[in-house]
Amino acid sequence: MHIPDGYLGPITCAFFYLIMIPIWYKGIKELKKLDPRKLPLLGVLTAFAFLVMMFNLPVPDGTTAHMVGGTLIAILMDNPWVATIAISIVLVIQAIFFGDGGITCIGANCFNMGVVLPFVGYYVYKFLRNKVGEVIASGIGAYVGIVTAAICAGFEFGLQPFIEPGYCPYPFTVSVPAMAIAHLLTAGPAAAVVTAIVVWYVRKVRPDLFTSKEQQVSGVNA
């Protein structure tokens, strides 16, 4: 899902950088407010996200896809904004040092994998967790999050020929199904299983991370 340099034109790239500036600003503000006890965990989760993206998985059509870890971070931090910051750190390092994802496309890639993915995943999880439990909800959230992000990337690829020709040559009728299928079949299930297992484990060893502020307050009063 890392859009390389050249696939999006200057207008599209600038547009996503502009969108990301206020989101990064809000993310930094949320990071300042985050419970300091959670900061080391967010640090190792950032490294975890980097590594998990190195596990390319085979897609039946001959391409590859990988999970991202954004929904997992949003759930464990109980805050999708700080997931945006963690994933953005990873994407900037991947672009600069490893040539994975374009320098010009950092805005777009951060929007897809760092905003759409954790926000969709986190709110699907929140919507479902009282209905099916935290573990199943986190798996479904991760699945829906990564597929939605992939479809967004597909639309960016596929609208490019209509905005400025000369960059991504394929229209969205080609790019959206291709991106959706890779993540529906491969990266989505992987993200669901890994996210659910980690959430299950963390919930077992650190249930305090899952009690909301209201519950903590009422617990003190009781």
124, 192 in Cβ contact below 8 A? Answer: no
Q: Is residue 21 close enough to count as binding another protein by CB under 8 A?
A: no
Q: For another protein, which is the closer residue by CB, 44 or 222?
A: 44
Q: Of the listed pieces 112-120, 132-140, 141-149, 199-207, which binds another protein according to CB under 8 A?
A: 199-207
**Residue 100 interacting with another protein (CB under 8 A):** yes
Report, in Å, the least distance between residue 145 CB and another protein: 18
2 binds another protein (CB under 8 A): yes
**The pair of three-digit structure tokens given for residue 38, joined into one six-digit string:** 């959670």
DSSP 8-state secondary structure symbol assigned to residue 101 = S
With CB under 8 A as the contact rule, the residue among 15, 17, 19, 31 that binds another protein is: 31
Interface size with another protein, residues (CB under 8 A): 70
Q: Which of 130, 131, 173, 205 binds another protein (CB under 8 A)?
A: 205
Q: How far is the CB of 127 from another protein (least distance, A)?
A: 26
Ranges of H-type helices in the chain: 10-33, 39-52, 70-77, 80-98, 106-109, 117-132, 134-163, 172-182, 188-205, 213-221
Q: Is the dihedral of CA 157, 186, 86, 200 positive or negative?
A: positive
In angstroms, give the least distance from the CB of 20 to another protein.
Answer: 16
Q: Which long-range contacts (CB under 8 A, 24 or more apart) does 113-116 make?
A: 113/1, 113/2, 113/68, 113/70, 113/87, 113/149, 114/70, 114/83, 114/84, 114/85, 114/87, 114/88, 115/20, 115/23, 115/84, 116/145, 116/148, 116/149, 116/152
Residue from 14, 25, 26, 56 binding another protein (CB under 8 A) = 56
Point out which residues bind another protein (CB under 8 A).
Answer: 1-7, 9-10, 28, 31-32, 36-37, 39-52, 54-59, 62-66, 85-86, 89-90, 92-100, 102-104, 153, 157, 164-169, 175, 178-179, 182, 202, 205-206
